[in-house]
Amino acid sequence: MNEYLPFASIIVAVLGFCIQFGMFVRPVELEKKHREIMEESYKKFASINMVEDMKAEFKEIKSKIDQIYEMLLRSGGENPKRRREGGGDAGL
C-alpha cells in the first residue's frame, strides 16, 4: 500500500481532470445524446424505404419515357401537327 502513496496525488488529479471534462458519462446522459443524434439523422438522411420507393418511381418514369420514345420512333419522328396540316416542308 505504501508503494502507491506517492502516486495518490497524480491519481486524484487525473480523476479530477476526467470528471471535469466529462470523460465519464452516465447512462442517462448517453441515452439523451443518442436520442438527439437519432432525431438529427432522421431530419438529414433518407430511410432505406424512402430510397427504394424513389427508385421504383424513377423506374416507372423511365419506362414511360421509353414508351414515348418508342412511339415517336414508330411514327417516323414526324411532327403530328405537320402531318395534319399536309405534312412535308411546305411551311419552310
The three cell numbers of residue 71 are: 412511339
Domain containing 64 equals: 46-77
Residue 56 in domain: yes
Residue 85 has pLDDT above 50, yes or no: yes
Number of structural domains found in the chain: 1
Residue 91 in domain: no
Task: For residue range 2-60, list pLDDT tens digits in order.
Answer: 787 888 899 999 999 888 887 888 889 889 999 999 999 988 888 899 999 999 999 99
pLDDT band per the 50, 70, 90 thresholds, residue 92: very low
Residue 26 in domain: no
- The residue with cell 415517336 is 72
Residue 70 in domain: yes
Residue 4 in domain: no
Coil vs helix vs strand at 75:
coil
Residue 83 in domain: no
Residue 22 in domain: no
What is the pLDDT at residue 47? 87
Residue 64 in domain: yes
